[in-house]
């Protein structure tokens, strides 16, 4: 029996460990993926610092993954009813066990709020199996939703989109852009950058991206930002003013929050025009409270605030179709900044945390 | 020349004065209304206490009015292209001078945010004319949007709807109720009561109204609340819990805020289910700040917040159609609690402020 | 082993036969329902006349059912996570085997267009089991979506809603009524009647129902129609005119088609105002073609046409919540016109076909 | 007094005549435009062939125009409240006299259906003044909605957008594209080409344009079509099949009709997937009837049909913002195929009719 190597996060603040696991036997309907690439993202840094509740350490991180099917047990069909075969290049939705039977799934149709959902690389313990992507193999449980990469879309290109792109797809879906809208994007991490690209290629006439450092803003401009605002050294009122002066003094039609900082919410409301839309997607962890004035910041503005939690399969699917179409024109190499081997996972975490890279990718099978 | 008597608010905190004005000459396209009834509402109390900015005292208050056309100069057409005639029973949209030419009017189509709009009874000075309803006559400037009361709708029934009903119509329009939704309404003032009625008669399967005192909650139940929660003596967490225990622990599908208290916003978010909608309509004046946690209260809830400012003509029109249909079944007498003569305007203000009445109406031509 | 009696439709145009089936053994996750009431509706008449394609005769009809759980194997949880128990009063969604894995389920989120879905009483053969409601017992396969009747909602009241009510809920959900809209309803069968009730109790200021015979129109008025138009002897232009003269010459804001007649579509477009919404829900079987002029009937009208296929669990759930709330005020006895025993199924079909009843109900366990 | 030369369409089928008009005196609030460019479009061909009802011949055609302000009387403010000055480069909304007071304007907020609206170049007679663009000067009546061209947008670039671009903006606004949608566009005239560009730059992952001749399809590909289908020699079923084979057999998520041929509507419904959206914008004149089956083509498909009539100022504004942003990357020279002098208006009409040009532009002040 072969051993499978994985990078394991054993607990908050502890060193990442390389461990070996036995190769799992497959249940009917399960498959084994040979991991080609697994993203190291800001969520992993949050995990490492213990900022997410109820994480069942030790875990194998890695929630956005791409690989080749190595083994399958039983027939597994794709979206079109075609069976998957060994060797197929696929990704999969990290969210699993959405129940399909509870009030949120059936009545609200808000599946990203199903209380039963589990997430590969986040809410499964390493004791439960190879359920994260920082591993040579990933165990795809029966019912995990696989997606073929379209012809011409490479694993590298896919991982440059990573989890930021489908998240941004969900945000833009909620934003309801009209042709010619002006969009402000708060944040220049992966979600902010992809929101910038999607707004530009989604019919906006103007996209203003606020963030730092300058290297990321340069990527934002290449992805379609018509203006970028380096927030370094600017106060909140100055940032708001910087957007307003580019929008006739009114603010953006649509603002998309992708920062993770609680105070950004007040700032974002203020940089949005009256009767505009404010999409909140970056408050993924508890970043504390913010104080706002409901009269001035909400009611009198006649604004809509649309919060976005998680993604479902449609967002992953749409992200992949868009990447396949746009990849030749996108500066993907500037996004997917650096590749790491399994033993370098901790270095990757540090580089992400210190913003030394836009996006870090682990390649577990590269030695 | 006849004198026209009006009740004048000369400044914040000062006694209401009865003054006489000369009967105005009509411009072409203008009309003179003989006032049958003018509402005294919470906004008037705010005005009196100086809580609204830039009010050009002295003013003739009264923004929701009904009367009979006494004189017209030139042809004025109704919605259907029929000319108005002397004696016609009409109301009119208090908002005037919405410009129809600015960015908000033409591009955003958010006419309630047009910076040029003026409001009868609020933003016109008594020096500019009879531009408020606490007066025997109201001067209807050219272009003021008049609306006939449909056959069978009395002035009394109209004023029982008052400004609360079209405001609630706007709120419900934004709420996008689905058949069978559960609705929580925060507040039992006129807007909250009418939101209760509109939710119940707008397809909700359950309407939970929170407010006080009990007399108003009794009206809420007659208007369709399936449950009422007396907030007297309850803490915020208890109010939230009271809604949750009636909604499977999840909260309402839609919550409508109609309180004017800043803290109500946090409470309202928490009494709304994940992926629900929160409509904010009651934060009409600056009621201070509220602190909330963007992660727990917004992002993770996947909630939509829809703020509602003002009304346009369509809301007034819809309100009037509904009242004409529903009036026979509604407990209008319990809403339109008390009538006042012109000289009793100050008493009316005090009664509204102290919640001694649900709705107060001035009848300027009753001696 | 006990025998279970069921009324079987053996083929188009053939007599309904009473047959006996062995009581089935339960798979894990399955349950057996003792049928209290099963609807006999227009769809069953269509089935009997061979108007639906690919029906696997012989079948046990009956797609809308209510009963008491007689046996369960394994734990079956309700929406709230509570286990069902023997004796519980439940209904269930007739649609089953919606796959949850195909493009329509996952990307379009249009589950009523999942190609894998099956329907109790319609697409299952009697050879596959007790999979229709015209039977003393119904076999509830694992995964069938059960719904408890809320306290106070009787089986009789539920079946008065039948399949027409959740279908009308779906239609009204698509209609997007605004408070004060005028609604025209084409048809006075169960869907048309329930659409009338939902429009009236969904915020419409005026509901105009077109249909026949007069007995059904009388029910429509009791359910909230402000006007009814007996189509007997009226030509298409006269019907359109009858709606226009009640709507300022413009037509209804929203028209809901619930007729099954192809020509009704042209008529419905013409009785809808410009920039209105036309909801098509009644074209359940192939009723032939209709000719229309895209310039006059669509483009120049700036109209939206929203077609509605089937229902999902949310529509059944919403229907049940509304019935529980409204039942005391609704003339349910006038809708649920007549009860039949199992041996009278054919008579029930004839009565439905000849419009002798509004709604017919089979009670398989009444002898 | 100077004479103003204009090309006049004196009646259906009659030669275009060059006539001289006196330079008009300006009312307060009016302005005189020196015409730089005026579009010759398919609508003008329809006018010439008498296919539009109630045209008050003789008329000065030309509804999409750009020029320099030559004279103003009184202050005219732009969207931002800044006064226009002589020499400013502007366009204007051809639609004028939208009343702002009727039921359609105020209640339905469907201003493109206001019965009072008039259109420069179409519904004004030459007897009423210089109210069309095929003239050295255009008389801009008080209240005509002017729009400055943004810095960097030339008159040529604007006219390459012409009336097709804002019409396509309106169509795309109604389409409600989600990121990653597949869009089919029926037609390769100016509206179809611009719909192609807007879909591609509006977040579509795939755009399939159907039309002819090949020269226009080549432009479609340069504007973003991922595939084009030359309809020459293909039957309707083959066109539908051509779209389906590129969309997993299902059809497009969104189809946009821009053909003017009645039969295209049936074809378009069939090339759209179930639960998709079908936008009809090209049925501008009476092109006869089409026969469709409401069961198969509408109800069972669970489709939405959204018809689009005319444009309002927001669409013109959005079009201009987008052109200003995109112009450097667009093949505008391939769209704006040929320029004509005033005396060549008839030749321009023939070239448009015979598809010898994509877009023809008159330059009335070029001699």
**What confidence category does residue B325 fall into, taking pLDDT thresholds of 50, 70 and 90?**
very high
Q: CA triplet D299, D301, D306: central angle to 5 degrees?
A: 80
The 10s digit of each residue's pLDDT in A77-136 is 999 999 999 999 999 999 999 999 999 999 999 999 999 999 999 999 999 999 999 999
DSSP string of A185-243, one letter each residue: EE--SHHHHHHHHHHHTBT-SEEEEEES-HHHHHHHHHHT-SEEEE-TT--HHHHHHHH
Q: Are A80 and D248 inside 8 Å of each other by CB?
A: yes
Question: Which of A112, A113, A304 shows the shortest C-beta gap to B304?
Answer: A304
pLDDT of residue D337: 84
Q: Are D301 and C292 inside 8 Å of each other by CB?
A: no
Q: In angstroms, what separates the C-alpha of B31 from chain D's closest C-alpha?
A: 16
Do domains D3-162+311-362 and D165-307 share one topology? The answer is: no
Strand partners, A66: A37, A91
Residue C16's alpha-carbon distances to C4, C113, C359, in angstroms, are 16, 30, 19
pLDDT of residue D1: 57
pLDDT of residue C337: 84
Q: Is the ipTM of this complex over 0.90?
A: yes
pLDDT of residue B130: 98
Residue (of C355, C249, C345, C357) closest to C10 by Cα position? C345
Question: Which of B169, B203, B226 shows the shortest C-beta gap to C180?
Answer: B169
Our measurement of the distance from residue A334's CA atom to the centroid of its chain's CA atoms, rounded to an integer in Å, reads 17
The 10s digit of each residue's pLDDT in A235-245 is 999 999 999 99
Chains with 3+ CB–CB pairs under 8 A to D are: A, B, C
- Mark out the alpha helices in A85-135 (DSSP H runs): 103-106
Question: Which of D81, D106, D108 shows the shortest C-beta gap to B145?
Answer: D106
Q: Is A132 helix (H, G, I), strand (E, B) or coil?
A: coil
Establish if D292 touches chain C: CB-CB under 8 angstroms.
Answer: yes
Chains with 3+ CB–CB pairs under 8 A to B are: A, C, D
Token reading at C110:
């249009």
As a residue count, chain D comes to: 367
Our measurement of the distance from residue A56's CA atom to the centroid of its chain's CA atoms, rounded to an integer in Å, reads 21
Establish if D142 touches chain B: CB-CB under 8 angstroms.
Answer: no
Contact C48, C349 (CB under 8 A): yes
Establish if A113 touches chain B: CB-CB under 8 angstroms.
Answer: yes
The 10s digit of each residue's pLDDT in B224-238 is 999 999 999 999 999
pLDDT reading at C118 higher than 80: yes
pLDDT of residue C1: 57
Q: How far apart are CA D27 and CA D47, in angstroms?
A: 29
Domain boundaries of chain B, sorted by first residue: 3-163+311-362, 165-307
pLDDT of residue A2: 80
Question: Which of B181, B205, B322 shows the shortest C-beta gap to C179?
Answer: B322
Establish if A81 touches chain C: CB-CB under 8 angstroms.
Answer: yes
pLDDT of residue C2: 80
Instruction: Give the fold, CATH level 3, of D165-307.
Output: Rossmann fold (3.40.50)
pLDDT of residue D2: 80
pLDDT of residue C367: 85
The 10s digit of each residue's pLDDT in C245-276 is 999 999 999 999 999 999 999 999 999 999 99
**What confidence category does residue C365 fall into, taking pLDDT thresholds of 50, 70 and 90?**
very high
pLDDT of residue B109: 97
Q: CA triplet B49, B53, B57: central angle to 5 degrees?
A: 65
pLDDT of residue A1: 57
pLDDT reading at B1 higher than 80: no
Q: How far apart are CA C59 and CA C54, in angstroms?
A: 12
Contact A273, A247 (CB under 8 A): yes
Which one has a higher pLDDT value, A41 or B2?
A41
Mark the ranges of chain D whose per-residue pLDDT is less than 50.
Answer: none
Mean pLDDT estimate for chain B: 97
Domain range C3-162+311-362, CATH architecture:
Alpha-Beta Complex (3.90)
Q: How far apart are CA C362 and CA C348, in angstroms?
A: 8
pLDDT reading at B12 higher than 70: yes
SS3 letters for chain D?
CCEEEEEEECCCCCCEEEEEEECCCCCCCCEEEEEEEEEECHHHHHHHCCCCCCCCCCECCCCCEEEEEEEECCCCECCCCCECCCCCEEEECCEECCCCCCHHHHCCCCHHHCCCCEECCCCCCHHHCCCCCCECEEEECCCCCEEECCCCCCHHHHHHHCCHHHHHHHHHHHHCCCCCCEEEEECCCHHHHHHHHHHHCECCCEEEEEECCHHHHHHHHHHCCCEEEECCCCCHHHHHHHHHCCCCCCCEEEEEECCCCCCHHHHHHHCEEEEEEEEECCCCCCCCCEEECHHHHHHCCCCEEEECCCCCHHHHHHHHHHHHHHHHHCCHHHHEEEEECHHHHHHHHHHHHCCCCCEEEECCCCC
Among B76, B95, B148, B314, the strongest candidate for a mutation testing the D interface, having the largest count of D CBs within 10 A, is B314
The 10s digit of each residue's pLDDT in B263-275 is 999 999 999 999 9
Whether cis (ω within 30° of 0) applies to the bond prior to D211 is no
Q: Are A106 and C317 inside 8 Å of each other by CB?
A: yes
Token reading at B356:
């001694």
For domain B3-163+311-362, give the CATH superfamily.
Medium-chain alcohol dehydrogenases, catalytic domain (3.90.180.10)
Q: Is D90 helix (H, G, I), strand (E, B) or coil?
A: strand
Q: CA triplet B183, B187, B193: central angle to 5 degrees?
A: 75
A87 burial via Cβ count (<10 Å: 0-12, 13-18, 19+): exposed
pLDDT of residue D41: 93
Whether the full predicted model's pTM is greater than 0.95, yes or no, is yes
Residue (of D157, D118, D121) closest to D320 by Cα position? D157
As a residue count, chain B comes to: 367
Q: Which residue of A has its CA nearest to B282?
A: A299
pLDDT of residue B255: 98
Establish if A317 touches chain C: CB-CB under 8 angstroms.
Answer: yes
Question: Which of A80, A81, A102 shows the shortest C-beta gap to C79?
Answer: A102
pLDDT of residue C225: 98
pLDDT of residue C293: 98
The 10s digit of each residue's pLDDT in C30-61 is 999 999 999 999 999 999 999 999 999 999 99
Which residues in chain C are contacts of A77 at CB distance < 8 A? Answer: 101
């Amino acid at each position: 029996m072969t051993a499978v190597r994985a990078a394991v996060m054993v607990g908050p603040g502890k060193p990442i460990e390389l461990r070996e696991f036995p190769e799992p036997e497959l249940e009917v309907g399960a498959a084994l993926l040979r991991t080609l690439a697994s993203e190291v993202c800001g969520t992993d840094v949050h995990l490492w610092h213990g900022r997410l509740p109820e994480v069942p350490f030790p875990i194998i991180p890695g929630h956005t993954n791409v690989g080749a099917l190595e083994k399958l047990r039983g027939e597994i069909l794709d979206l079109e009813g075609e069976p998957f075969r060994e060797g197929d290049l696929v990704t999969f939705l990290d969210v699993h066990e959405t129940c399909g039977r509870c009030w949120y799934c059936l009545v609200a149709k808000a599946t990203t709020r199903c209380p039963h959902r589990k997430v590969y690389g986040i809410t499964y313990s390493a004791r439960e199996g190879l359920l994260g992507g920082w591993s040579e193999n990933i165990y795809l449980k029966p019912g995990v939703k696989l997606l073929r990469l379209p012809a011409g879309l490479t694993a590298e290109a896919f991982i440059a989109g990573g989890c930021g792109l489908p998240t941004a797809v969900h945000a833009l879906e909620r934003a309801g852009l009209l042709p010619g809208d002006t969009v402000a994007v708060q944040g220049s991490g992966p979600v902010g950058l992809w929101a910038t690209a999607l707004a530009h290629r989604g019919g906006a006439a103007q996209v203003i991206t606020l963030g730092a450092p300058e290297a990321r803003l340069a990527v934002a401009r290449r992805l379609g930002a018509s203006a970028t605002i380096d927030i370094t050294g600017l106060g909140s009122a100055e940032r708001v003013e910087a957007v307003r002066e580019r929008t006739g003094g009114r603010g953006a039609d649509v603002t998309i929050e992708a920062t993770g900082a609680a105070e950004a919410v007040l700032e974002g409301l203020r940089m949005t025009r009256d009767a505009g839309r404010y999409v909140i997607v970056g408050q993924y962890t508890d970043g504390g409270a913010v104080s706002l004035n409901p009269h001035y910041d909400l009611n009198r503005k006649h604004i809509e605030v649309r919060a976005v939690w998680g993604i479902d399969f449609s967002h992953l699917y749409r992200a992949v179709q868009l990447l396949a179409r746009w990849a030749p024109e996108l500066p993907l190499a500037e996004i997917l900044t650096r590749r790491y081997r399994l033993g370098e996972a901790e270095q990757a975490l540090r580089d992400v945390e210190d913003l030394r890279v836009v996006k870090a990718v682990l390649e577990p099978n590269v030695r």
